[in-house]
Amino acid sequence: MASPFNMPDEFVQGFFKSAQTLMQAFTGLPGDASASAAKPPSLALAQAQAHYWQQQMALYMGIAASATGKSPEPTVSPERGDRRFNADVWRDNPWYSLLKQTYLLNARLLDEMVEAAGIEEKEKHKLRFYVRQFIDSMSPANFAATNPEVMTAALESLGESIRAGFANLVDDLKRGRISITDESAFEVGRNVAVSKGSVVFENELFQLIQYAPLTEEVATRPLVIVPPCINKFYILDLQPENSFVRFASEQSQTVFLVSWRNPGAELAHITWDDYLEKGAMKAIEVGLAISGADKVNAVGWCVGGTILSSAVAVLRTRGDESVASITLLTTMLDFSDPGDLGVFIDEQGVSQREQSIGRGGIYPGLELGFVFQTLRANDLIWPYVVNRYLKGGAPQAFDLLYWNADGTNLPGPMYAWYLRNMYLENNLCKPARLTMCGTPVDLGCIDMPSYVLATLEDHIVPWKGAYRTTQLVGGGKTQFVLGASGHIAGVINPASKNKRSFWTDGKLGDEPEAWLSSAKSKQGSWWTHWMDWLKPHAGKSGPAPRRLGNAKYKPIEPAPGRYVRKTSEGQV
């Protein structure tokens, strides 16, 4: 089922299936097996309906009172952080105030109907997600006729905003995605991903960048970073002032970083094992060879952390002790609670992916990007729809959103295997359930010191799921840290800005809430805390290398290299 904005089939199917499930839950109509647990409407539903009508009555009484010159308190208000109705007209104009509050009451009723549905929790989670997508899409702010700011812009511009909005829509339909930033304002290697370094190794799957030292002496053991393969690496090197790469280099670390290739048809055969053997494990091997060190310190972020952990488990099972410590940033190893991403995963959907691309093919990065946008639709979809298509506006230049829009494809065999064995069957955390690179994998073999970072508001890797990593790796030598904010902002939190906070030093055990209740809150960035933790594992200091690479691995080209410049549309 095609969509002009690369909407995945799983999303479309899930949307309609959830509507059917909701109807079945309250009418008793027969349906598919997933709704077999549906029960008749409950007392909770009757109470929700009664409360709804009470609030509707209060709303209309308030509107009537306003006609006499009184200013009634709103019956219902947007949740904190909801910016859709910030304009004064939504509050001061009786018609728009009524429209806003009616919408919010209807949204609340739908939410309460979902909670009252007599269905199993997994299906209810899906229902919550898709009902919320429907609620968000139906906001009066999303339609020209019911958005006062849109109407005002049209009148003041004599219709020019409407013409510009239609032109913007046509442009975005051609590119297959909603423009969320001014992409012409940035260029990889010019004003993002500008840290100095060289590509010192490449194969069909990745380039390895070695960054130039920024101190006269460096730690003996280098830092090897494995970023996610579902996005470009330069989130770790956006601008000098918020570059994790630069920070590590300034702290006397020799930094090697994996730049995954954005796969096209030439990599349609690549498997999960390839990402381990030809990717993370090869990066560790080259980092060791160039640095001459006995061990490396390894860092993985998100799925990069899952790849790194799998690779290190394979190495340790083989008797390889080349990794001194492992740092996992917002990484999931136990997928029993995958959050909202889990709503897209079921046997039917995974089987379809296995049949279509599991033996060869490409999963488009544009589809993957849309999935992540739906997790925060009121931040990453609807504001841009309103601004671009209804108001005819141009997106602002923002480096983080430029990176967010610079998606990557995934090889079909790797992606289908990852869906089944991680999200669907949760096999990675089960000792010896999976064989990778010919080796039975047990995460318990990852017995070196580990630093596990989760973030409190992460919508991709829920922090309690990331916490379970502490029960799987580290051999009792695990440091768990919980950062404020979300999946990206919680990680990219520069030490120099001293913003946000983090929790640490809680008592590790089975329950994440128990850890949090015993943890200490600290102001500022977790970066400095991590560096203090890392330094004892970094080895002695020595003179910084005067040249990058070595006799075997000579510099190929300056950082950031060619691979990162390839877009999902195939441009370089």
- Listed in sequence order, the residues at least 6 apart from 183 whose beta carbon sits closer than 8 Å to its beta carbon are 402, 405
- How far apart CA 308 and CA 302 sit, in angstroms, is 10
Tokens of 357: 């691309």
- How far apart CA 474 and CA 118 sit, in angstroms, is 41
Which one of 229, 302, 437, 445 is the catalytic residue? 302
**Looking up tokens 């309250």, which residue turns up?**
26
Q: Which helix (H) or strand (E) holds 420?
A: none
Q: How big is the chain by its Cα radius of gyration, in Å? A: 26
Q: Which helix (H) or strand (E) holds 323?
A: strand 323-329
- How far apart CA 334 and CA 27 sit, in angstroms, is 37
Asked whether the beta carbons of 241 and 316 are under 8 A apart, the reply is no
- How far apart CA 52 and CA 75 sit, in angstroms, is 11
Q: CA 365, 458, 565: angle at the middle one, nearest 5?
A: 30
Longest distance between any two alpha carbons in the chain, whole Å: 86
- How far apart CA 283 and CA 369 sit, in angstroms, is 27
Please count the other Cβ atoms lying within 10 Å of the Cβ belonging to residue 224: 27
> Which DSSP string corresponds to 186-235?
--BTTTBS---EEEEEE-SSEEEEEEPPSSSEEESS-EEEE--SSS-GGG
Evaluated on CA atoms 409, 269, 563, 201, the torsion sign reads: positive
Q: What is the DSSP letter of 192?
A: B
- How far apart CA 144 and CA 154 sit, in angstroms, is 9
- The answer, yes or no, to whether the previous bond of 560 is cis (omega within 30 of 0) is yes
> Shortest CA distance to 341 belongs to which of 297, 309, 375?
375
Catalytic site residue 445? no
Residue 408 backbone zone (phi > 0: left; psi -120 to 50: alpha; other: beta): beta
Any idea which residues carry the catalytic annotation? 302
